[in-house]
């Protein structure tokens, strides 16, 4: 996942105005055509992982699970009479 941020509004502690940041995510580096963005009030770093997981869960069909490798079972040779 590739992401970037854009500060929409700087924090102004004197007037009690929190920072607003837009997070943009792009999954093209994983071969998935999915881009999205969200605006976050306050600390954006804490929300980034949650946003990424939400995007993956909400678009599961775009993120198929890898095929499991076949398991080989050992069998004993039995003689047939």
pLDDT tens for 61-79 read: 998 877 888 888 776 665 6
Measured distance CA(50)–CA(57) in Å, rounded: 10
What does DSSP say about strands 35-41 and 2-9: parallel, antiparallel, or unpaired?
Answer: unpaired
Global pTM reads 0.75
Half-sphere exposure of 10 (CA within 13 A, CB side): 2
pLDDT at 68: 82
pLDDT tens for 8-64 read: 999 999 999 999 999 999 999 999 999 999 999 999 999 999 999 999 999 999 988
Structural domain spans, the chain: 2-62
């Amino acid at each position: 996942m590739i992401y970037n941020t854009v500060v929409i509004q700087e924090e102004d502690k004197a007037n009690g105005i929190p920072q607003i940041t837009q997070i943009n995510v792009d999954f093209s580096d994983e071969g998935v055509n999915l881009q999205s963005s969200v605006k976050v009030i306050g600390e954006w770093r804490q929300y980034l992982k949650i946003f990424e997981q939400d995007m993956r869960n909400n678009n599961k069909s775009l993120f198929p699970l890898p095929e499991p490798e076949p398991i080989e079972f050992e069998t004993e040779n039995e003689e047939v009479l």
